């Protein structure tokens, strides 16, 4: 690949591949690496620069690959190391890059490191994980005996009892995902060696799973329990912990420094704040390029993921604008509405009924024209929507299934209401197979898919959209091309307009040589409002619109049809 300038990475667009659901080459109903290889021409046509691939390492698949038992091998479900090498070479030949998912807050309980660690209290790897005695005065293995009363993100306590050695081990997620002890320098060095191994094979970067959980408060204090429960969220004791920055700076020195090409790094960071993100992404600090923050995808939920709240457009605008202002000139934003942990963005933030196509385009326009690196989640470029899941048997996600069964054990649970909420917000909604064409199996598989394909695949599919100038796919192509062609998209300042308007999302991007005006209607009604603009905008040119016959000018009053979005440009 050609040498790039140090800041070229800020112009890249990333496409997330969730391999299990992307393309199945061998008919077993599960996507694989050769399936990804078979669709590279499609991704090249879309115009993306980077492929971020969710985990394909060896795994018992308790959490769909985020429980890794071997960091330097590929699970046979997905293929082989040779397939990975071929994928790297094929991407590089197309001028594209590969970012691997890095899951190093925890391993699988079947990883050899943990197998050794749990074998005895005096094993050399015992301190590679978090082992603790029961709470004083209690009997190990009984409720309430856990060393701390934190609840797991996947339900139940965060501590699992090991009868053989008479201690508990920590697992913020599943009991099959024990947390690594980053306080131990041997752990860090083993992880850094593994990362260098992947970079030496040609991988171009890492998306780091929950990387702001690697530093814990070593005193492991109790938390406030939820009403009626022994356990409560302990996140304040392991989110952005006391040594988080130190560990990431060490990672930079040990792994990334001195490489010939830029290593792209993005850290998934639940509950990270803007001031914290500035520190994590300030280039002078040598930690990460950007973080995935969660503020904007928590605006429509209450006490838990399925406690749904109405989404207020002004709140969404304000959240995104705050991150634009907070990181401007200091750090860097990642831009996303959907990924493998979220439902389909058009169903959540748009209108997946009458206005599915228009709203999918508008969501993309608004997102991609903020400052930062846009992430396209597989299928969003087709306007894929949530599936009509109705029963618990439709789900595969450990988070959803555990939550449902825990609720079902309570006498006061409203299970029909919970199922309705799960149908809107479950992670499985983002994990249904990519819809390639209208054939049986949607072009994803010749077998039985691991999770049901959305029955709308006959109408919503890549074969119907590629080359159709009015499709969601082609709109994404235009957005990506605009970013590559016009520096204002990457470099321009951001100013939100009409912050309190309940439906219009409008903003300016001001660059050295040009300005963009973006205006979008986030409603199913015609809206009209004056924009606070100078008169010269009346002569600005339309550079992108999602509906035919777009308004020629934004003045004197802006009028937008349902889910319409328009981008104007003028020179400075």
Instruction: Enumerate the active-site residues.
Output: 209, 268
558-560 vs 527-529, strand pairing mode:
antiparallel
CA gap 473, 465 in Å, rounded: 6
514-521 vs 527-529, strand pairing mode:
unpaired
% helix / strand / coil in the chain, to the nearest 5?
A: 35, 15, 50
CA distances (Å), 87 to each of 33, 37, 96, 203, in order?
A: 8, 6, 10, 10
β-bridge partners, 567: 518, 544
Tell me which residue of 494, 499, 488, 509 sits closest to 531, measured CA to CA: 499
* CA atoms in the 13 A half-sphere facing the CB of 497: 21
Bond preceding residue 556 cis, omega within 30 of 0: yes
Tell me which residue of 528, 529, 509 sits closest to 518, measured CA to CA: 509
CA distances (Å), 62 to each of 45, 58, 109, 162, 484, in order?
A: 35, 12, 10, 19, 39
CA gap 58, 70 in Å, rounded: 5
Q: What are phi and psi of 497, to 5 degrees?
A: -110, 155
């Amino acid at each position: 690949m050609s040498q790039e300038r140090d800041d070229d990475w800020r112009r890249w667009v990333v496409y997330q591949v969730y391999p299990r659901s992307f393309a199945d080459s061998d008919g077993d109903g599960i996507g694989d690496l050769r399936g990804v290889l078979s669709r590279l021409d499609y991704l090249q046509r879309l115009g993306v620069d980077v492929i971020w691939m969710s985990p394909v390492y060896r795994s018992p698949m308790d959490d769909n690959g985020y429980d890794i038992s071997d960091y330097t091998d590929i699970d046979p479900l997905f293929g082989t190391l040779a397939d990975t090498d071929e994928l790297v070479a094929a991407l590089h030949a197309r001028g594209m890059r590969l970012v691997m998912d890095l899951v190093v807050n925890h391993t699988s309980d079947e990883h050899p490191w943990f197998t050794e660690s749990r074998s005895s209290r005096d094993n050399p790897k015992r301190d590679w994980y978090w082992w603790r005695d029961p709470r004083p005065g209690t009997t190990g293995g009984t409720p309430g005996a856990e060393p701390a009363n934190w609840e797991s993100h996947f339900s139940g306590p965060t501590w699992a009892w090991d009868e053989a050695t008479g201690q508990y081990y920590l697992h913020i997620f599943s009991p099959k995902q024990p947390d690594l002890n980053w306080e131990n320098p041997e752990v860090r060095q083993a992880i850094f060696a593994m990362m260098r191994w992947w970079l030496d094979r040609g991988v171009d970067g890492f998306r780091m799973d929950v990387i702001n959980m690697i530093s814990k408060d070593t005193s492991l204090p109790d938390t406030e329990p939820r009403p009626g429960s022994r356990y409560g969220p302990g996140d304040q004791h392991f989110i952005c912990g006391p040594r988080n920055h130190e560990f990431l700076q060490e990672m930079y020195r040990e792994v990334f420094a001195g490489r010939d090409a830029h290593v792209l790094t993005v850290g998934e960071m639940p509950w990270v704040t803007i001031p914290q993100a500035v520190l994590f992404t300030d280039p002078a600090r040598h930690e990460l390029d950007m973080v995935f923050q969660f503020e904007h995808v928590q605006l429509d939920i209450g006490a838990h993921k399925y406690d749904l709240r109405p989404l207020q457009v002004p709140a969404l605008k304000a959240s995104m604008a705050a991150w634009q202002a907070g990181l401007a000139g200091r750090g860097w934003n990642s831009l996303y509405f959907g990924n493998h942990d979220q439902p389909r963005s058009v169903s959540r933030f748009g209108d997946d009924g009458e206005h599915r196509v228009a709203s999918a385009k508008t969501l993309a326009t608004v997102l991609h024209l903020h400052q930062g690196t846009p992430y396209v989640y597989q299928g969003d470029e087709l306007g894929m929507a949530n599936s009509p899941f109705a029963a618990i048997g439709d789900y595969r996600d450990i988070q959803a299934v555990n939550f449902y069964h825990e609720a079902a054990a309570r006498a006061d649970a409203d299970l029909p209401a919970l199922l309705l909420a799960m149908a809107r917000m479950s992670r499985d909604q983002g994990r249904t197979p990519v819809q390639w064409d209208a054939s049986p199996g949607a072009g994803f598989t010749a077998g039985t898919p691991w999770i049901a394909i959305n029955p709308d695949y006959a109408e919503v599919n890549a074969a119907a959209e590629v080359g159709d100038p009015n499709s969601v796919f082609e709109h994404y192509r235009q957005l990506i091309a605009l970013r590559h062609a016009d520096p204002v998209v990457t470099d321009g300042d951001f100013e939100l307009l009409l912050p309190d308007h309940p439906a219009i999302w409008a903003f300016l991007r001001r660059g050295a040589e040009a300005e963009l005006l973006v205006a979008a209607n986030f409603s199913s009604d015609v809206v009209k409002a004056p924009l606070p603009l100078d008169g010269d905008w009346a002569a600005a040119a339309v550079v992108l619109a999602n509906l035919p016959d777009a308004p020629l000018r934004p003045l004197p009053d802006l009028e937008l049809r349902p889910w319409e979005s328009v981008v104007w440009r003028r020179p400075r």
